[in-house]
Amino acid sequence: MEQILCIYCGDFFPPSPRHKRRTSCKRPECKRAKKADWQRHKMKTDPIYKSNQKISQKEWARANPGYWRQYRKRNPKKAERNRILQTIRNRKARSSHSVAKMDASVIAKMDASKSNNFKILGQFWLVPVIAKMDALKVNIHTISSHYP
């Protein structure tokens, strides 16, 4: 019988006669990933679902006071990553409003000969576009031109 490729773990699994269009295997982590994908899609495409989710999340948070503060304390790395991702989302939302105001003259000012004046130094997070990957903290330093 032909095998189906699980889009989450990359393993093959036998097709089920009842669910011919199945895209994930039976592993709990693949089922969870599939459900998360479905929910992400639903949040983007179904405004009623989205507002119901937000209401029930708020109700849950009210019934479990301090949970998220505790969560951030217990998982400082995840909390930091979420803070960064939220910052990026905020910036994206802001820039999508301001993009219309930006015209060619602004872009034309980016002169290649002046690129040496633009120094990116400090600590940054490399945040992969693929959300399943972890963000990576990087430090960017100048090195002397005499570096071997």
Q: Does 6 bind Zn ion (CB under 5 A)?
A: yes
**Angle at which helices 28-45 and 47-63 cross, to 10°:** 120
Tokens representing 51 are 């507002």
When binding is defined by CB under 5 A, the residue of 4, 5, 9, 139 that contacts Zn ion is 9
Q: Which is nearer to Zn ion, 24 or 135 (CB)?
A: 24
When binding is defined by CB under 5 A, the residue of 22, 27, 34, 72 that contacts Zn ion is 27
Closest CA to 137 of 83, 63, 71, 66: 83
Under rule CB under 5 A, how many of the chain's residues touch Zn ion?
6
User: Is the distance from CB of 85 to CB of 128 less than 8 angstroms?
Assistant: no
Q: Which is nearer to Zn ion, 9 or 85 (CB)?
A: 9
Q: How far is the CB of 33 from Zn ion (least distance, A)?
A: 8
Q: Does 30 bind Zn ion (CB under 5 A)?
A: yes
Q: Does 4 bind Zn ion (CB under 5 A)?
A: no
Q: How far is the CB of 34 from Zn ion (least distance, A)?
A: 9
Q: How many whole angstroms separate alpha carbon 51 and alpha carbon 117?
A: 47
Q: How far is the CB of 24 from Zn ion (least distance, A)?
A: 5
Q: Which is nearer to Zn ion, 33 or 79 (CB)?
A: 33
Q: Give the residues lining the site for Zn ion (CB under 5 A).
A: 6, 8-9, 25, 27, 30
